[in-house]
Structure 1
């Protein structure tokens, strides 16, 4: 079992307002007190989830040269392959022992924003694997629908119009990240899979393959295992939503320990449109108090955070 709340979100799609509000109340409590929760009743078919894990296995099994040809260094829009030990989420620790592949919002090459070079608006990099693109985009689209459901729940909990986030997340900086953690070679291997960190954006939807590793830091500092629950996703809020809510919702540090057998996971980072203004919501500021954060565009905020991740690694290399 787990101390992390488990929330059935199927009633967010109910026609009855009271049903949707009940789920929103559970989401709000989890975001205020834990920052993490499991989601069931999400409506994503098993076959679509299975397909994206198959795609991850196929991608990371490619020769290094094929993966490097899709390197994130070839994109200025946070898309493509990230090699082993190329990131350090915890700047005080060793580089992360994982490799990753990022897919963003799928845009045609002639999209005006892509042509203009607007940050986070580039084209995706695709491996030459039959059916791979279709499998990944099917999962991406399913997560897009789920994150919109959950954001409606957030809006209801925060006393906002139910569709408050809809026009701020209709062309979002939503990144699907396939992750592979090679197995530790010895029982004394102290390397970390992914260092202690909080996520940068609004909402993370994580699927895991059953191999242990994810840990969440409770408010009292105790690290808790986040076990795999079949059919459920692990969700957490990020720093951007914490900023938006003036710390009514609080993001939670987490990490991935180096697994004893190889581990795959798939994270969907649902962040707002680049031009969405992240401004403290009026209902999240007590009368007479000043907001904790100044307004900032989502694209600018995420650029700052991603740049820091890679600059820390360069400084320590």
Structure 2
């Protein structure tokens, strides 16, 4: 089993044939492996390097400084080691917390969503570290660049679930992108139940991962074995989440994956979860335009789906 490498540069060019070829390659990858590795994505290598540098400098700060930005009632800010446990997962409950620390950046809620979602994990206001001083600007630049990538890729996936190119646009009018800077400390004596990130499938639509050269990201094959995701400098690893799998009626795969800590080296990665609006329904897109019958249970929205899983797997402050 291999992760296909796909050059997506044609998505940004006036080349219909090239666009179709990229879409077809993405379909082949995500209907089988559920993962792909993207090159030609247009995010400058220097921008990615600057973000990794800022991330490493933040995690090198004393713990008490990092705790000043700890998340509370909302999932924004710093998550210390061992504060997330995958209790609610498609692969069952993890036995130990994830041995990783992270910093989460969310969009500010649109005014039209505030009353409904302000008390959720996605509510609140973003906190930003004052050191390193380049942290916030590096994150904002990368997030803006990744939004452009996400917009281009979503149009491919729209065709992949049987809609026109702009068929999913309505669900991304107020998207819910989540950026997560991750640090996996070295773990010399790891037991069988300890992971940097326990086996899981992602909650949302599309996940883009930038990773350093340490390795540790693994995918579960159909036969139950695990294999390493190749490392290509400045490429993006793309995987399908649970919502996109539901939209496609199961054709596109939300594949289980995990992260193993290196015994001697820290690993750094950046996850960009390009997800739809909070009030988007989680069901096959072929049924999303049909009237909902009051006599049947209503499908969950993405926001309800996300809130349920986040509240189960993270320890929020009261």
**Alignment TM-score, normalising by the size of structure 2:** 0.87
302, 305, 313: which is aligned to 1:301?
Answer: 305
1:267 aligns with 271
Computed over aligned residues only, the root mean square deviation of the Cα atoms, in angstroms, reads 2.4
Matches of 2:171 and 2:64, distance apart in 1: 38
Distance verdict in 2 for CA 1:269–1:42, change over 3 Å: same
Query: Which residue does 1:245 correspond to in 2?
Result: 248
Distance between the aligned counterparts of 1:257 and 1:306, measured in 2? Answer: 22
**How many angstroms does 1:190 deviate by?**
6.2
Among 107, 125, 128, the residue aligned to 1:126: 128
Given the alignment of the two structures, is residue 142 of structure 1 paired with residue 145 of structure 2, yes or no?
yes
Cα contact 1:159–1:283 (8 A) shared by 2: no
The answer to whether the aligner puts 1:154 opposite 2:149 as a matched pair is no
Contact 2:31 2:252 in 1 (8 A): yes
> Within the alignment, does 1:79 sit opposite 2:76 as a pair?
yes
- Measured against aligned partners, the alpha-carbon deviations of 1:280-302 in whole angstroms (never above 9, x if no partner) come to 12289xxxxxxxx9632111111
TM-score (normalised: structure 1): 0.87
Alpha-carbon distance in 2 for matches of 1:18, 1:159 = 18
CA deviation profile, 1:56-115 (whole Å, cap 9, x unmatched): 112111221221121112x42x211111011123623211110011001256xxx63586
Do 2:206 and 2:274's aligned partners in 1 also have CA atoms closer than 8 Å?
Answer: yes
Aligned to 2:25: 26
The question of whether the paired residues in 1 share the 8 Å contact of 2:187 and 2:262 is answered with yes
Of residues 210, 215, 224 in structure 1, which corresponds to 2:213?
210
In structure 1, list runs of 5 or more residues that go unmatched: 285-292
Structure 2 partner of 1:64: 63
Q: Give the CA deviation at 1:271.
A: 1.1
- After superposition, residues 99-110 of structure 1 pair within 5 angstroms as 99-106=101-108
Residue number in structure 2 paired with 1:288: none
Pair 1:94-2:96 in alignment: yes
Cα 1:13–1:283 shift into 2, 3 Å? farther
How many angstroms apart in 2 are the aligned matches of 1:216 and 1:263? 17
Shift of 1:164: 1.7
- 1:118 and 1:94, CA in 2 relative to 1: closer, same or farther beyond 3 A? closer
Tell me how far apart the structure 2 counterparts of residues 171 and 99 of structure 1 sit (CA, whole Å).
Answer: 28
Deviations 1:254-299 (A, max 9, x none): 1111212111111111111112233312289xxxxxxxx9632111
* 1:177 maps to 2:180: yes
Count of aligned positions: 299
Matches of 2:190 and 2:32 in 1, distance apart? 35
Look up the SS of the partner of 1:241 in the other structure: helix
